[in-house]
Amino acid sequence: MIFLGIESSCDETAVALYEGDISSGDGKLIAEQVASQIETHARFGGVVPEVASREHLAALPPMVESLMQDAGFTFDQIDQIAVTAGPGLMGALLVGTSYARALGMVHHIPVMPIHHMEGHLLAPGIDKLLPEFPFITLLVSGGHTMLVRVDGIGSYSIVGQTLDDAAGECFDKSARLLGLPYPGGPEIARLAQQGDAKRFTLPRPMLQKDNLHFSFSGLKTAVMYAVKNAGGIDSFDAQAISDMAAAIESAICEVLVKKSIKACIQEDAPRLVIAGGVAANRSLREQLFEMAARKQIEVHLPDPKHCTDNAAMIAYAAFQRARFGVHIPDVWDAQPRWSLAL
Domains of the chain: 2-123+306-324 (3.30.420.40), 131-301 (3.30.420.40)
Report whether 116 belongs to an annotated binding site: yes
Report whether 96 belongs to an annotated binding site: no
Report whether 130 belongs to an annotated binding site: no
**Measured distance CA(138)–CA(277) in Å, rounded:** 11
Report whether 278 belongs to an annotated binding site: no
What stretch of H or E contains 225?
helix 217-229
Report whether 139 belongs to an annotated binding site: yes
Report whether 231 belongs to an annotated binding site: no
Report whether 119 belongs to an annotated binding site: no
Report whether 172 belongs to an annotated binding site: yes
pLDDT tens digits for the chain (342 residues)? 999 999 999 999 999 999 999 999 999 999 999 999 989 998 888 899 999 999 999 999 999 999 999 999 999 999 999 999 999 999 999 999 999 999 999 999 999 999 999 999 999 999 888 899 999 999 998 788 999 999 999 999 999 999 999 999 999 999 999 999 988 999 999 999 999 999 999 999 999 899 999 999 999 999 999 999 989 999 999 999 999 999 999 999 999 999 999 999 999 999 999 998 888 899 999 999 999 999 999 999 898 899 999 999 999 999 999 999 998 888 899 999 999 875
Report whether 27 belongs to an annotated binding site: no
φ, ψ of residue 131 in degrees (nearest 5): -70, 165
Report whether 309 belongs to an annotated binding site: yes
Task: Give SS3 for 233.
Answer: helix
CB 55 within 8 A of CB 13: yes
Report whether 229 belongs to an annotated binding site: no
Radius of gyration of the CA atoms of the chain, in A: 20
CB 156 within 8 A of CB 142: no
Alpha carbon of residue 101 to chain centroid: 24
**Measured distance CA(86)–CA(59) in Å, rounded:** 19
Q: Which of 328, 316, 267 is nearest to 26 (CA)?
A: 316
